[in-house]
Structure 1
């Protein structure tokens, strides 16, 4: 796998409890541990190891990707803590986050996403240069069925509902029957821009 196109090794972010760092090829096992859990990818099929590695490879090679791993801050007891989440942009301007169920309910997703958003607008005040001009003034996120927790994280981070879109349900069996799901898009305008 190639090196991330957007990041440099010193692009880490720390919060009161968390360490965020750019995704790297060495994160394969941690990414798979998250993406293979059916509780995490509940409205699509959980990843196989090959699918997870393909997802990682695409993120590492894309100039629109700014994915970060999320782990507890290192301590003397645990100098190399395991990643338990991913946050950031998987395809700018769309952001996302997924966390292993062991990390749910602690506010980590909100804390990590707020820190990532702050870094993004500090670094790219005019929007990321790979984006088209009409995409530079916002970040967006899409939630699926049962995504009440995700919508809560987005609202806490300042995102507002933008629109709904119906699409084919990606779960096993549902796709063949052309069952549909309703997706909700939320947007966060860059600081200083009115809706």
Structure 2
């Protein structure tokens, strides 16, 4: 999987040596509470290693799941994904799979603009590689991620139950033509 760089960040593939960080990150309820339809905290290093293996398995010229690191010192600060989003039961794909961008960062890294910078770099890279549309599917209570979406220039499309089987706020960004 490729790396993606921005001014302050390097997004790179997850490594086994990141397991302690990932366990710390995803053992925190305040970090995972808005992830997926049934959020749960991670409890063991073995879970972290298995999760890293799944993240590395996303090997695609556009999609990926990256460790967000600071360019200055290589410190891991969070996770960013760009991948097809699962539809709710009974929903039709309508021809093409929607591609979701998402992020979660360690609380020590909140408030530094890292989520916006990392997401912008990955979206720019994906658009250059031919992706035409990116969506963000946020929990209605996740106002922090919705603010990131707006800073990214994403358009709020409205509330939907098309993804994850629960009501979500949907944002989208189209590639410039």
Q: What band does the TM-score fall into relative to the shorter chain?
A: 0.7 to 0.9
1:87–1:112 CA contact under 8 A, matched in 2: yes
Tell me what 1:86 maps to. Answer: 79
Deviation at 1:63, TM superposition (A): 4.2
In the alignment, does 2:102 pair up with 1:96? yes
Structure 1 SS opposite 2:30? coil
Q: State whether residues 70 and 86 of structure 1, in contact with CA within 8 Å, keep that contact through their aligned partners in structure 2.
A: yes
Show the counterpart of 1:17: 8
Q: Which shows bigger deviation, 46-55 or 13-22? A: 46-55
Gaps of 5+ in 2: 86-98
RMSD between aligned residues = 2.5
Deviation at 1:166, TM superposition (A): 4.6
Q: Equivalent residues in 2 for 1:1-195 (5 A)?
A: 7=1, 11-43=2-34, 44-49=39-44, 50-63=46-59, 65-74=63-72, 79=73, 81-91=74-84, 93-122=99-128, 124-125=129-130, 127=131, 137-166=132-161, 182-192=167-177
**Cα distance change of structure 1 residues 53 and 141 upon mapping to structure 2, 3 Å threshold:** farther
Please report the TM-score for the alignment, with normalisation by the length of structure 1.
0.69
- Residue 127 of structure 2: SS of its match in structure 1? helix
Larger radius of gyration: 1
Contact 1:59/1:90, CA 8 A, preserved across alignment: no
SS at match of 1:27: helix
- For these two proteins, the number of residue pairs brought into alignment is 156
Aligned residues of 1:121 and 1:190 also touching (Cα < 8 A): yes
Distance, in Å, in 1 between the alignment partners of 2:70 and 2:55 is: 22
Partner of 1:134: none
